[in-house]
Chains A and B, each alone.
Chain A
Amino acid sequence: NAGVTQTPKFQVLKTGQSMTLQCAQDMNHNSMYWYRQDPGMGLRLIYYSASEGTTDKGEVPNGYNVSRLNKREFSLRLESAAPSQTSVYFCASSDGAGESYEQYFGPGTRLTVT
């Protein structure tokens, strides 16, 4: 089991460029999440998908879009990157979206926008 995988591991973008961060899980989990972590801070939720076919905004959704491609894959798109989006992005998955399900995290994508 690879768990949660993310690609790429590192990325440098220029302001205004677009890119898609990919996330996949092989645990047959129903729910998937995208978080960002700025230096010295805890993680903040960007978007989540409680089940295949649904997506919802989290705390900081502005500037991002998501696609739940299928049960395994959940992608995060930056349409026009800004320096404020320089961060580490973590994807997570869980068996359910209820309060008693733990989330499993990927290794992160380190994004720098210049």
Chain B
Amino acid sequence: DAKTTQPPSMDCAEGRAANLPCNHSTISGNEYVYWYRQIHSQGPQYIIHGLKNNETNEMASLIITEDRKSSTLILPHATLRDTAVYYCIVKIYNQGGKLIFGQGTELSVKP
């Protein structure tokens, strides 16, 4: 299973961009990178996913390096409501779509 490595915690000032890094050096060519977040022990919330190209949606941008060994989730203008644990996940190919959650990064957005 491809594993991911994330810093355990990060701080960000409100209104600034939050850049959350993730290493996934053993990712296979057909495995996607997914990002979820979990606020206060609520159910995880899907943010974005990508294969090899950079992706953007209304919540965030995902930058994947050319060798696909790492990625960065960017929240362009962080708010206090973005305080959460962010999980970077490599989705297992052909195993029912299961997600392997690591420890994640606890992002604290401060005023």
Contacts and interface: CB of A to CB of B under 8 A. Distances in A.
Interface of A: 4, 31, 33, 35, 37, 41-45, 48, 50, 56, 58-59, 88, 90, 92, 94, 96-108
B97 A58 contact: no
B87 A42 contact: yes
B104 A106 contact: no
16 contacts: A35-B101, A42-B102, A42-B104, A45-B98, A45-B100, A50-B96, A58-B98, A59-B100, A88-B41, A99-B30, A99-B91, A99-B92, A100-B49, A102-B49, A107-B42, A108-B42
The winner among B49, B96, B102, B103 for most chain A CB atoms within 10 A is B96
A94 B44 CA distance: 13
A19 to B, nearest CB: 20
Interface in B43-66: 43-46, 49, 51
Contacts of A94: 97
Nearest to B31: A99
B96 A56 contact: yes
Nearest to A102: B46
B97 A44 contact: no
Contacts of B45: 105
Given A42-B87, A99-B30, A99-B31, A105 B43 contact: yes
B17 interface: no
A31 B96 contact: yes
B7 to A, nearest CB: 15
A101 B41 contact: no
Interface in B28-43: 30-32, 34, 41-43
B13 interface: no
